[in-house]
Structure 1
């Protein structure tokens, strides 16, 4: 399982494909007054509206900001690529603007070993995400811009669809439901027809609440559902389940109808420092996370994405659930000790 035997795995070429909203994270440690000014709650993710637009400039002017290639799916794919250490194992699709931020993003992801295939929009700037950190906890305010301009026609181009044909595993964060449900369904149906593995993330409470219709349309195709306890509870509430217990919710999510019997649905719910809950075959499994003293916590931005990335890296190599969760916990633990969704040159996961 060490580095040496991973690098010779030629069968991993293009094995994992991600599709989502590429955003350049503008990350800064701020204060509560800044959150209050823009009506932002900690530990949440929202789409920017008009009142948030001046925030990005104020962030850059008043605080010490870092620019990091982001977006939930892109983060997870970058982490999976880092864990795998096999160039070209991962591909990523999304839409950026033809601008400096777009170039930064391309450079950042490509240097991480991810093969990116962006649709470039001539008229709209690259999407950004304000990452506001207070006391190690984070809140995200996404201004999708060009990420919102992804079109299913790009996916249907022969050279892009060839990536879909080649991949055996697909991961899409629920945020992409706000942009191109048609693209998601196209990939989901392909995965079901070919017996491949299709995975999604509940992403944020607002996705479960306001995009429940497209989410439920794609649900029969989802083999692995990821989420955190807040998203799981919001999903349950929207479905009218009237249950708060995360374990019960995970079981009910797994039991929702599936389009094909090739794979059973596995639900994975993270709970911050509390054990990760997994529903499989009508049973609950719990996995403790790696403990971290408060003083070592830098920020939680990207922790959920990193967990998924670590999980995917083992899954695409045919590892079992326990090993995949262990890798997810390892990756999340690394990321929360650093600023943004960043990591050292090499993983030390064994």
Structure 2
């Protein structure tokens, strides 16, 4: 089987500005832990304040890009992954290119003249994280870039395509193009609920994409928000996972499988109207560094085995392994080689 470009990601590339902050900082900018939001005007000064007041690390991030980087690391097959998104023509953009190429991902960024490379403040407190994304150039992605022959060739070459729900806020048109291509060509299309605000405020574009989605990822908070928004009147994650898997589908080639993570509680996998639970690798509290990227790493680990056509048990095990590695390190980073068998 040819693995070159087998897995394609499309999303919002953001340079993570990660720091351990204090309660005062969180209160000042009205930031809740274990949440992900888009920056409003009131948040804009925080990036500068973080950089001057705290010990910050810069890491190439953005949900989809994190997952693709982790999948590439797990696979250890040169050129297996590609990624599309929009950055600015600036030093953060150059940093991102350097970072991603080092990770072995074939990145194809649209470079925008008018906006700065997007950033994401990763505020860590007691090992828990909160994300505040200032999309900036990431918000400028247009389907015109996707339609260019050399970019579209990446879509054609891929057999698995992953897009985090965050990209619904940027270019639903690009998502529809890729989703329709996947359905027409018997490819596997994967999306993530990504954040409660996506389920609430981008419900319409999410609903347009869902019929094409073969694997839906999310965590328990996102699943419960999805249920509430759709008037399902249940908080039971297992029930919600089954209901999501049974929503209408655009193509009957692949059945839909829902995968919901629940922190330290078992991973819920819904398929064929049934649920399986898989335990996660428990980590002693003192070994937890930060949870940033844990969900992205889970997806990356899972996808690394999915593209190898391994059974779902192996995919979940790889997801749990990858997220366990990530939460013991600062940001979405990993050692040189994985230790997964």
Would you say same fold, with TM above 0.5?
yes
- In the superposition, the TM-score normalised over structure 1's length comes to 0.97
> What is the CA-CA distance between 1:163 and the residue it aligns to?
0.5
**Which of 190, 195, 215 is residue 224 of structure 1 equivalent to?**
215
| Partner Cα separation in structure 2 for residue 340 and residue 349 of structure 1 | 20
Matched, 1:271 2:252: no
SS in 1 for 2:44: helix
1:32-43 alignment, distance < 5 Å: 32-43=23-34
**Which of 52, 64, 88 is residue 73 of structure 1 equivalent to?**
64
**Which of 80, 91, 97 is residue 88 of structure 2 equivalent to?**
97
SS in 2 for 1:323: helix
Matched residue, 1:136: 127
Matched, 1:237 2:216: no
Matched residue, 1:159: 150
SS in 1 for 2:254: coil
> What is the CA-CA distance between 1:164 and the residue it aligns to?
0.4
Instruction: Give CA-to-partner distance per residue, 1:180-225, whole Å, 9 cap, x none.
Output: 0000010000000001000000000000000010000010000000
| Partner Cα separation in structure 1 for residue 286 and residue 126 of structure 2 | 10
> What is the CA-CA distance between 1:156 and the residue it aligns to?
0.2
Matched residue, 2:324: 333
> What is the CA-CA distance between 1:123 and the residue it aligns to?
1.3
SS in 2 for 1:131: strand
SS in 2 for 1:12: coil
Matched residue, 2:286: 295
| Partner Cα separation in structure 1 for residue 3 and residue 217 of structure 2 | 23
Instruction: Give CA-to-partner distance per residue, 1:238-275, whole Å, 9 cap, x none.
Output: 00111000000000000000001100000000000000
Matched residue, 1:180: 171
| Partner Cα separation in structure 2 for residue 283 and residue 242 of structure 1 | 19
Total equivalences in the alignment: 341
SS in 1 for 2:100: helix
**Which of 126, 143, 148 is residue 139 of structure 2 equivalent to?**
148
- In the superposition, the TM-score normalised over structure 2's length comes to 1.00
Matched residue, 1:253: 244
Instruction: Give CA-to-partner distance per residue, 1:80-128, whole Å, 9 cap, x none.
Output: 0000001110000000000000000000000000000000001100000
**Which of 175, 188, 201 is residue 197 of structure 1 equivalent to?**
188
Matched residue, 1:7: none
| Partner Cα separation in structure 1 for residue 102 and residue 77 of structure 2 | 13
Matched residue, 1:281: 272
| Partner Cα separation in structure 2 for residue 185 and residue 14 of structure 1 | 20
| Partner Cα separation in structure 1 for residue 328 and residue 203 of structure 2 | 33
> What is the CA-CA distance between 1:158 and the residue it aligns to?
0.2
> What is the CA-CA distance between 1:33 and the residue it aligns to?
1.0
| Partner Cα separation in structure 1 for residue 3 and residue 315 of structure 2 | 16
| Partner Cα separation in structure 1 for residue 209 and residue 298 of structure 2 | 22
Matched residue, 1:58: 49
Matched residue, 2:313: 322
Matched residue, 1:19: 10
SS in 2 for 1:206: helix
**Runs of 4+ deviating beyond 2 Å:** none
Uncovered stretches (5+) of structure 1, i.e. residues with no partner: 1-9
